[in-house]
């Protein structure tokens, strides 16, 4: 059976149907989805004006430049590009951002963060992966930490999280570790998303919502 | 009358959806439960509502979109967008904050801060007036809100008693930015050109139709408000609008017998017919009547740093990774007039010593204050008294003898970064381990 759509085999006919569907699946209201469309349009026309977010555009938005290779931008892009077709479509954008909503469930945030950090997509985070990410961050942000210090921080973190003692962190251990260190989910929440209707208010004029 | 939250009684049997919304069962967008109709203004109705998820009280103003179809629909649409972006920027302890907007094809809903105390008018005594001391308190709060708005290029242009509300602590909340004009509306002569306002509060230069400055008309209206609070009647009043305007234009009004001479002097400077010689905000703040009993200008006019409240002491490897701006999705969002930045430094200094150095430096700088930082175990918040910036300096232990100094800044894009660039950053660089490959 062909599957163009995500709800009961009935194709989404208009943008508005699609917005209602997105709102029902996420923490956003239809109005917020409409406002997010303006943000999406802005981001998706920054480098290549084709109405889709390319990796360069995500990189430009996050780092203010579109050329430098960045491990983390690559990871974020792959996570947002759910269909893995090389672009972030609007529905993918809304679904992924909804995980960052202050009201989204912690379980979803924990799961998303784990996949983000699992850079080799092996189902676990090992010593080498963790060290690679720490070094990449330090290089990127121009923060100086002596090499032996990096090694011991990575070692200590693995030791704390690795409850079954196999030398790496799996999904279950990650969940327990986050439970003990809630600050790790900080980056998974964007308080600003609450403010999205004020940041992009022009939807109030063209909204298709019939009833509140 | 945007944002008016009064207690006008209306006919609840009116057969439209607003009236239905006034009954207890209605929940807007699954998010806000409508509790009660607070008032009806020229442009819409205001309800007291409650957030379903948090229980927080809000005021919701419902405005019809029918004007959008009219002849001036385009201008009206532009006005709505402008108004929302202005209200979004205005965050002051004495102005009503806008949290969110919602819309259907027929209506726009403004979700605003709820002023639990209702209209200030209800605070006057049975004879319709206040003591000078009580009026002074509200006038000081009004002036601090007006000064804040003016310093952001926003003029209220319809200040009147009906737009003054009080919160649960009986502190003032100025509402109704329905006719606010940003600087964008200023003509090539630097003057505003739209006739607006409420007759009894309108400044004489508006009646002269020669263009006017938002600053001076707001000050005039503050004068009318102050006079009315203490006198119990409007300085200019007449059933006949032509006669009313004539009184305003001539500046004809009479003081009640009981007012002090300092009060008379201040009012005469506020209700100066000539906008060129009328008292300014700075002069008001130095006026003897205004200053009597002392006045502390509220300094918490900055928006808070965007963050949740998780307090951390030691950092692990994942904390370090989350420093990456590649992982910082908030970069996708555009931030109004403020710039949000985070910078980090690694240091071998003792945390207490670092804080000492920061505090010692701030102590020598004017108009910057140190505050407690509730979100840190070791840290301080620095605030510019001009509302230009807020900086949180937090210290986390990385390992024994190694700490991360994290600096979160929210500053005005224009003029907000001087303190950071010229004073704080150089100090922190001095304390930080230097990057080996960094250029000299």
* Average confidence (pLDDT) per 10 residues, chain B, 440 residues: 40 43 71 91 85 93 83 79 82 90 93 94 82 94 91 84 92 75 47 63 85 88 96 92 91 94 97 95 94 70 58 81 77 67 87 91 84 81 83 87 88 82 91 58
Question: Which value does ipTM take for this structure?
Answer: 0.84
CA B391 vs CA B105, B108, B337, B340: distances in Å: 42, 36, 16, 10
Q: Give pTM, 2 decimals.
A: 0.79
Q: Which of A132, A135, A136 is nearest to A118 (CA)?
A: A132
Residue B297 within a domain: no
Phi, psi of A209 (to 5 degrees): -70, 125
* Same domain as B170, residue B127: yes
CATH number of residue B419's parent domain: 3.30.310.80
* Res B325: pLDDT: 75
Q: What is the CATH number of the domain that holds B9?
A: 3.30.200.20
Indicate whether B306 belongs to any domain.
no
pLDDT at residue B226 in the model: 97
Higher-confidence position of B431 and A7: B431
Within this chain, do residues B208 and B265 fall inside the same structural domain, yes or no?
yes
Domain end (from B58, B81, B113) = B113
Same structural domain for residues B52 and B165?
no
Q: Do A205 and B68 touch (CB under 8 A)?
A: yes
The per-residue pLDDT for B117 is: 93
First to last CA, chain A: 35
The answer to whether residue B96 is domain-embedded is yes
Residue B369 lies in a domain: yes
Kindly report the nearest CA distance between residue A73 and chain B, in angstroms: 5
Window 4-63 of A, Cβ < 8 Å to B? 29-31, 39, 42-43, 59, 61-63
Do B327 and A187 lie within an 8 Å CB cutoff? yes
> Residue B240 sits in a domain of what CATH number?
1.10.510.10
Whether B310 maps to a domain, the answer reads no
> Domain ends where: B257, B291, B325?
B291
| Pair (B325, B410) in one structural domain | yes
B387 within some domain = yes
Task: Determine whether the interchain pair B398/A210 forms a contact, defined as Cβ–Cβ distance below 8 Å.
Answer: no
- Does the residue B311 lie in any domain? no
Residues B132 and B251 in one domain: yes
User: Is B176 part of the annotated catalytic residue set?
Assistant: no
Q: Which of B59, B89, B113 is the last residue of a domain?
A: B113
Confidence of residue A89 (pLDDT cuts 50, 70, 90): very high
**Strand (E) or helix (H) holding A94:** helix A90-99
Asked whether residue B20 falls in the same domain as residue B136, the answer is no
Q: CB of A168 within 8 A of CB of A127?
A: yes
pLDDT of residue B289: 96
**pLDDT attached to residue B296:** 67
Residue A133: predicted pLDDT? 93
B165 and B271 share a domain?
Answer: yes
Q: What is the 3-state secondary structure (H, E, C) of B28-64?
A: ECCCEEEEEEEEECCCEEEEEEEECCCCCEEEEEEEE
- Please determine, for residue A53, whether its predicted confidence score (pLDDT) is greater than 80: yes
Residue position matching structure tokens 């950092």: B315
- Residue B402 main-chain phi, psi, to 5 deg: -140, 125
Greater confidence (B22 vs A142) lies with A142
Are both B214 and B74 inside the same structural domain? no
What is the pLDDT at residue B211?
76
User: Residue B156: what pLDDT?
Assistant: 85
CB contacts of A158 in chain B (<8 Å) are 317
Lowest mean pLDDT among A79-83, A139-143, B179-183, B364-368: B179-183
Same domain for B266 and B164, yes or no, is yes
Q: Do B103 and A72 touch (CB under 8 A)?
A: no
- Nearest CA of chain A to the CA of B392: how many Å? 16
Question: pLDDT-derived band of residue A3, with 50, 70 and 90 as boundaries?
Answer: very low
Q: Is B276 found in the same domain as B232? A: yes
Would you say residue B305 lies in a domain?
no
Q: What angle do CA A89, A133, A74 make, to 5 degrees?
A: 20
Work out how many domains chain B is built from and give that number: 3
For residue B415, which of B377, B436, B372, B386 has the smallest C-alpha distance?
A: B386
| For testing contact with chain A, the best of B326, B341, B348, B433 (most A CBs within 10 A) | B326
Which domain covers residue B187, as residue numbers? Answer: 118-291
Does residue B286 share a domain with residue B173?
yes
- Residues B161, B40 within the same domain: no
């Amino acid at each position: 059976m062909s599957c163009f759509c995500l709800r009961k085999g009935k194709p989404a006919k208009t943008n508005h149907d699609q917005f209602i569907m997105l709102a029902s699946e996420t923490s956003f209201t239809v109005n917020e989805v409409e406002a997010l469309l303006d943000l999406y349009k802005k981001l998706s026309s920054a480098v290549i004006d084709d109405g889709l977010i390319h990796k360069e555009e995500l990189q430009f938005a996050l780092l203010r430049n579109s050329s430098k290779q960045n491990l983390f931008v690559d990871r974020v892009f792959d996570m947002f590009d759910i269909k893995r077709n090389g672009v972030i479509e609007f529905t993918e954008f809304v679904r992924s951002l909804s995980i960052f909503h202050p009201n989204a469930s912690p379980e979803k945030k924990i799961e998303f963060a784990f996949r983000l950090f699992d850079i080799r997509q092996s189902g676990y985070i090992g010593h080498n992966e963790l060290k690679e990410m720490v070094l990449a961050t330090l290089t990127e942000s121009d923060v100086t930490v002596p090499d032996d210090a990096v090694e011991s921080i990575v070692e200590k973190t693995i030791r704390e999280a690795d409850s079954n003692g196999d030398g790496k962190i799996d999904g279950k251990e990650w969940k327990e570790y986050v439970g003990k260190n809630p600050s790790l989910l900080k980056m998974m929440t964007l308080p600003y998303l609450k403010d999205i209707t004020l940041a992009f208010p022009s939807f109030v004029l063209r909204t298709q919502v019939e009833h509140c | 009358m945007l944002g008016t939250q009064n207690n006008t009684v209306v006919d609840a049997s009116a057969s439209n959806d607003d009236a239905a919304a006034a009954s207890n069962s209605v929940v807007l967008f699954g998010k806000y439960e409508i509790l009660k109709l607070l008032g009806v203004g020229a442009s819409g109705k205001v309800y007291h509502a409650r957030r379903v998820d948090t229980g927080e009280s809000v005021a919701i103003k419902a405005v019809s979109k029918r004007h959008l179809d009219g002849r001036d629909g385009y201008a009206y649409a532009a006005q709505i967008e402008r108004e929302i972006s202005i209200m979004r920027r205005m965050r002051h302890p004495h102005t009503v904050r806008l949290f969110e907007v919602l819309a259907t094809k027929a209506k726009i809903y403004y979700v605003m801060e709820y002023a639990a105390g209702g209209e200030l008018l209800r605070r006057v005594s049975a004879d319709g007036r206040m003591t000078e001391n009580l009026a002074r308190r509200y006038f000081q709060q009004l002036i601090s809100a007006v000064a804040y708005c003016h310093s952001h290029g926003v003029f209220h242009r319809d200040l009147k008693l009906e737009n003054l509300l009080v919160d649960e602590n009986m502190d003032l909340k100025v509402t109704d930015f329905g006719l606010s004009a940003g600087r964008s509306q200023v003509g090539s002569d630097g003057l505003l050109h739209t006739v607006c306002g409420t007759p009894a509060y309108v400044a004489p230069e508006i009646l002269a139709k020669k263009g006017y400055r938002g600053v001076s008309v707001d000050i005039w209206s503050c004068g009318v408000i102050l006079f009315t609070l203490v006198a119990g009647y409007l300085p200019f009043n007449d059933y006949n609008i032509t006669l009313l305007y004539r009184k305003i234009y001539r500046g004809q009004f009479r003081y009640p017998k009981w007012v002090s001479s300092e009060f008379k002097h201040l009012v005469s400077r506020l209700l100066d017919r000539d906008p060129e010689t009328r008292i300014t905000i700075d002069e008001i703040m130095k006026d003897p009547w205004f200053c009597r009993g002392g006045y502390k200008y509220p300094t918490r006019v900055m928006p808070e740093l965007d963050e949740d409240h998780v307090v951390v002491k030691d950092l692990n490897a994942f904390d370090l990774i989350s420093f990456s701006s590649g992982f910082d999705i908030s970069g996708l969002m555009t931030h109004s007039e403020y710039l949000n930045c985070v910078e980090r430094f690694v240091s071998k200094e003792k945390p207490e010593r670092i804080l000492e150095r920061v505090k010692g430096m701030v102590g020598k700088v004017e108009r910057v204050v140190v505050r407690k930082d509730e979100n840190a175990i070791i840290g301080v918040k620095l605030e510019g008294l001009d509302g230009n910036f807020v900086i949180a300096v937090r210290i986390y232990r990385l390992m024994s003898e190694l700490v991360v100094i994290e600096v979160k800044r929210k500053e005005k894009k224009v003029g907000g970064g001087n303190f950071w660039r010229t004073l704080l950053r150089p100090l922190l660089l001095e304390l930080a381990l230097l990057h080996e490959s960094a250029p000299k």
